[in-house]
Amino acid sequence: MRRLTIINFLIVLGCALAVGLSWQINHEAIEAVALKLFRAEGRSAFTLIQTARHWNAIQGKVYVPVSADTPPNPYLRTPDRDITDNLGRRLTQVNPAYMTRQISELLQDSDVQMRITSLDPINPLNRPDGWEAASLRQFEISGELERVERVQDRYRYISGLIVQRECMQCHEDQGYRVGDLRGGISFSVPAEQVDLLVSEMQQGSSRVHALVLMLLSLIGVSLFSLFYLVRGRLQASVMAQAELQQLVERDELTGVLSRRALMERLFTEMKRRSRYGQPLSLLMLDLDHFKRVNDRYGHQAGDLVLKELAQMLEQHLREVDIIGRYGGEEFTVLLPNTARLQAERLAQRLCQAAAEYRIRLHGGDLVQVTLSIGLASCDTDLLSAETLLARADEALYVAKQRGRNRVSVYGQD
């Protein structure tokens, strides 16, 4: 009897250890989802701030009235920092760094915190804290320009700032060159804001694991059976995480990247292009007269055409190329380390392949579709992601205006 009690105790203990391990793996996987969600939020916030900074920089000089909240910037040493307008008002120049700091001060009383920082700041108030300093040093060593982490009770995100040509008027005296890492912008929010998004997953996981422990303990299965059960649960957990990743990154209909995931990849490729000077090209593809397919055969047939065409395009792309559904019948293809001439040849092949392709509908009808393609490249220019997209879209418009079923290159047509 005593031996049976010991064996039962060991079985229950083994169940508890195995289920506890499964719960821990699920808990860590769900925490990884929380980090991924905040990474996406941090990238979006950084993109907005960078766009505002870029706008400020390309204006040449931006002036605002001097006030208690906006005094002259003592760290901006230009002879025309302060001027007087024709109404007699005193104006002071607001450069991108000063503007960013002003925005961060407006956020001081909110849950969202933002900082512009540097290991060699002009303004001592921009000196990094310990986590920011460690992140910037890691960027210098690894070449990565992004970090996200939960630090105590806050989620923190930082992305590196690369010296652009327009930055040199303020930072040339510090010894920077175009392409150098000169600092970063960090964001943080209370942990509970992000944790709320995944709390139901955590609670559901805890309830399921508690129930499994009770059932296994009551049934008293052998350790050998328990091993296979836990292994099955671990595999199910991995599949669930893979499905969640698929939902976040893939377009449900065509299987290519979703627009959100596509923009994240574009953001990453633009940073790599800015950092290392490699060429980058972008294609905007649009199905010609796609509305006629929907009107004649129905939307189910139109969905089949989009799916088949996306698969055909993937077969004609290189492994390094990135394709995503931009919206409706529009697709976008990123071509890393690809100059304009090489990208144009690839675009022509895609255009020809689409024209030669035939899609068989469920009713047996064969449908032919053609593509209009707009191409934009940044071989040597330092462009923003928004500018590259706008140029490709403008070239796509030209291709449509000139009869469709053709490739138009920005700046040439």
Residue 232 banded pLDDT, cuts 50, 70, 90: low
Angle subtended at Cα 310 by Cα 305 and Cα 313, rounded to the nearest 5 degrees: 125
For 188-227, give the secondary structure using H, E and C.
EEEHHHHHHHHHHHHHHHHHHHHHHHHHHHHHCCCHHHHH
327 CB burial (10 A radius; 0-12, 13-18, 19+): exposed
Residue 335 contacts residue 265 (beta carbons within 8 Å): no
Active-site residue list:
329
Q: Which residue has the higher pLDDT, 404 or 10?
A: 404
Per-residue pLDDT at 226? 46
The three-state secondary structure class of 31 is helix
Q: Is the pTM of this model over 0.85?
A: no
Per-residue pLDDT at 236? 56
Rounded mean pLDDT, 30-45? 80
Residue 172 banded pLDDT, cuts 50, 70, 90: low
Rounded mean pLDDT, 253-273? 91
Instruction: Give the distance, in angstroms, between the CA of residue 128 and the centroid of all CA atoms in the same chain.
Output: 25
Instruction: Give the distance, in angstroms, between the CA of residue 245 and the centroid of all CA atoms in the same chain.
Output: 14
The HSE-up count of residue 303 (CA atoms within 13 Å, CB side) is 8
pLDDT at 345 over 70: yes
Counting other chains too, the contacts that 377-381 makes at CB distance below 8 Å and 24 or more residues apart are 377/279, 377/280, 377/281, 377/282, 377/338, 377/339, 377/340, 377/343, 377/410, 378/273, 378/279, 378/280, 378/281, 379/279, 379/339, 379/340, 380/279
Residue 370 banded pLDDT, cuts 50, 70, 90: very high
Residue 2 banded pLDDT, cuts 50, 70, 90: low
pLDDT in tens, 78-87: 888 889 989 8
Per-residue pLDDT at 225? 45
pLDDT at 258 over 60: yes
CA–CA separation, 127 and 115 (whole Å): 10
CA–CA separation, 238 and 223 (whole Å): 22
